[in-house]
A and B are shown apart, each in its own frame.
Chain A
Amino acid sequence: MSTPATRPKRPPSTLGAFVTKEMHHILRDRQTLAILLLMPLVQVLLFGYALRTDIRDLRVAVVDPTPDVATLRLRSRLAATSRFRLLKVSTTTNVLPELFQRRTADVALVLPTSFAERMGRGDTAQVLLITDASDPNTGTTMQVYVRSVLADFERDFGGARPRAGAIFIAVASRMRFNPTLESANLFVPGLIALVLTLVSALMTAISLSREKELGTLEVLLVSPLRPWQIIVGKVVPYLVLGFAITCLVLTAARVVFSVPMRGSVTLLLAESVLFTIVSLSLGVLVAARTSSQRAAMLGALVGTMMPTALLSGMIFPITSMPGWLQPVTRVVPARWFIVIARGIMLKGIGLEYLWRETAVLAGMALLLLVAATRSFHAHLD
């Protein structure tokens, strides 16, 4: 009998062998890997394009029965706004029904006859604003945009009668409906949180419970590998994957939607790693407490994905939640991460303002890591 087995172990190579194996699993399962890498990109595009609350490229048809100097000014004012595209100028309203039915126009602006004359006299100029309101929200937003242009025009050229009140109201509504922030800016930080939760919590839970189901975990536990080494070996590859996906989402967000990065990228990536550790520990906890892959998947979905999507402030603002629900969001790690990510990306602030959120995440990471290792240990008996 030889004695290599009794020689002291070199933990790095032991752990290295385990991490290598885990990498093989991830790289071999091409379907899952493709989904993991493509899904964040698809989500960035979906959230960025589909879920936006601002509207651009409004197609405007103008009916101008008697073109004059004032209507020309108004038309050029509309055309100069990046939100509008002047589609058609007609002298009669007959063309409008077809334009709307064919969905070639979003908004039609019908000007009165002798517009300039009326304005000069200080008469009320009746302007008809027609909107495709098949989607009421969009319809309202579009109306507000056009009105704000009209109000601007009125303020600059509005003859004798200053209608200050109306102008200010129009300005106020523009502030509300025309946010300087793009929708994508708001969603991307939340999206990073969602994707990281998915990769780290869900995938770790599945991969760990798969070993449990197959019985290979038992073999690993009988080996000289310590439970913490098994956990680290499971977690490290997904940490790397999560990091890669974060970079991917950030790049996509920047290239496609010009989402700003006003603060430190390094800090954001570091915070992402911290958040990933929290999610990974949650995944390990879920796997330790469930006995099948299916149960682990459900557990991870309900326990981590749902709170991240619904209670983190990613989509629904925390301030508009009922009072009793707001404190509950404090236990959702993504809530803190989203504050950090938005702060760094959009406000350009650093740790001096975000240390509290960072500390909360670090605390959670520590607590959950200990709990995960423990529950893993406890499960052996």
Chain B
Amino acid sequence: MTSALGERSIEVDGLTRRFGTFTAVDRISFDVAQGEVFGFLGANGAGKTTAIRMLIGLLAPSAGSARVAGYDVATHAEMVKRNIGYMSQRFSLYEDLTVRENITLYGGIYGLSDIAIEKRTTELVDRLDLRDDIDARVKSIPLGWKQKLAFSVAVLHDPRVVFLDEPTGGVDPITRRQFWELIYTTAATGTTVFVTTHYMDEAEYCDRVSIMVDGRIVALGTPAELKEQYEARSIDDVFVRLARAGTAA
């Protein structure tokens, strides 16, 4: 599954962001196909967060261009926002609201009708097995469920692309696996999943991964391709080698 296949939902060309004299993101270019699970890796401070903020319309690029869901992020940020979902690395649900209220809120914000919200709420709690907790405050349900709920809420409006910023931080391995099952289910319906992670085993689950070092993308390909190219046993090895080379330079 490469960018050559099918429709492209993310097209990035020479995207750059400077803060004063510091270049956080330095001319990165890549495409992501519709329905692809794309892993966006990089050490802390490599420029991942800055790049994502540009892609989701929170930050204007200094140079280059990016199209997400068919819209230019610099000129049509509002259209981009309508067609993407976002789950931040910090917990993005309201703890003092119930499960149902959180779903209703995000459904409403994304302009779903009351009927659609009701239908999706039922589907969602059935899928996550949260029927009994639907009127419980979110703060009272376990972290793993919260993360799965946050993800489901982020894709409630069937976005063309969903951005997940370190979605599985602090979650146990079993829940992480369940979380990735959710990701695959979502990708199978045609939603592109753009995910950052620090867990390299998760990187192996991605269709393709990119590795960012010092603001540039230094490696891009399927996990198998990258391992072959760097003669490594795992993506973890590839990552450590590249990241170390980057900091040394």
Residues of A within 8 A of B (CB): 1-7, 9-10, 13-14, 16-18, 20-21, 24-25, 28-29, 214-216, 218-226, 380-381
Contacts and interface: CB of A to CB of B under 8 A. Distances in A.
B94 A5 contact: no
B56 A25 contact: no
Interface string B160-187: 1001000000000000000000000000
Contact of A380 (B58, B87, B104): B58
Given A218-B88, A222-B58, A4 B108 contact: no
Given A214-B90, A224-B78, A224-B111, 6 more contacts: A5-B83, A25-B96, A218-B58, A218-B86, A223-B110, A224-B110
Interface residues of B, number: 41
A215 B90 contact: yes
A7 B57 CA distance: 19
Contacts of A221: 58
B81 A224 contact: yes
18 contacts: A1-B190, A5-B83, A5-B110, A5-B158, A13-B108, A13-B111, A18-B108, A21-B97, A21-B105, A214-B90, A218-B58, A220-B109, A222-B57, A222-B81, A223-B110, A226-B78, A380-B58, A381-B60
B189 A1 contact: yes
Contacts of B157: 4-5
Contacts of B84: 222
B220 interface: no
Contacts, number: 103
B236 to A, nearest CB: 28
B112 to A, nearest CB: 6
B125 interface: no
Nearest to A219: B92
A214 B94 CA distance: 9
Interface string B95-111: 01100010011111111
A17 B107 contact: yes
Given A2-B158, A380-B58, A216 B109 contact: no
Contacts of B88: 215, 218-219
A3 to B, nearest CB: 8
Contacts of A224: 78, 81-82, 109-111
Contacts of A381: 59-60
Contacts of B158: 1-5
Contacts of B105: 17-18, 20-21
A69 to B, nearest CB: 76
Secondary structure at chain A's binding surface: helix, strand, loop or mixed? helix
Contacts of A3: 158
B218 interface: no
Contacts of A16: 108
Listed residue (B57, B101, B106, B111) with the most chain A CB atoms within 10 angstroms of its CB = B111
Given A9-B82, A18-B105, A215 B91 contact: yes
B159 interface: yes
Contact of B160 (A5, A18, A21): A5
Interface of B: 34, 56-60, 78, 81-84, 86-94, 96-97, 101, 104-112, 116, 157-160, 163, 189-191
Contact of A219 (B82, B86, B96, B190): B86
Nearest to A10: B111
Contacts of B108: 13-14, 16-18, 20
Contacts of B97: 21, 24-25, 28
Nearest to A9: B111
B92 A216 contact: yes
Contacts of B34: 1
B193 to A, nearest CB: 13
A21 B86 CA distance: 19
Given A1-B191, A5-B157, A14 B111 contact: yes
Nearest to B93: A216
Contacts of B190: 1
Contacts of A9: 82, 111
A21 B111 contact: no
Contacts of A20: 104-105, 108
Nearest to A213: B90
A215 B92 contact: yes
Nearest to A27: B96
A223 B104 contact: no
Nearest to A221: B58
A29 B96 contact: yes
A29 B139 CA distance: 14
Contacts of A222: 56-58, 81, 84, 86, 163
Given A215-B88, A219-B88, A28 B96 contact: yes
A223 B190 CA distance: 20
A254 B55 CA distance: 57
Nearest to B165: A218
B64 to A, nearest CB: 17
A16 B89 CA distance: 27
A214 B91 contact: yes
Nearest to A229: B109
B58 A21 contact: no
A6 B79 CA distance: 8
A24 B101 contact: yes
Given A14-B108, A224-B109, A4 B96 contact: no
A380 B59 CA distance: 7
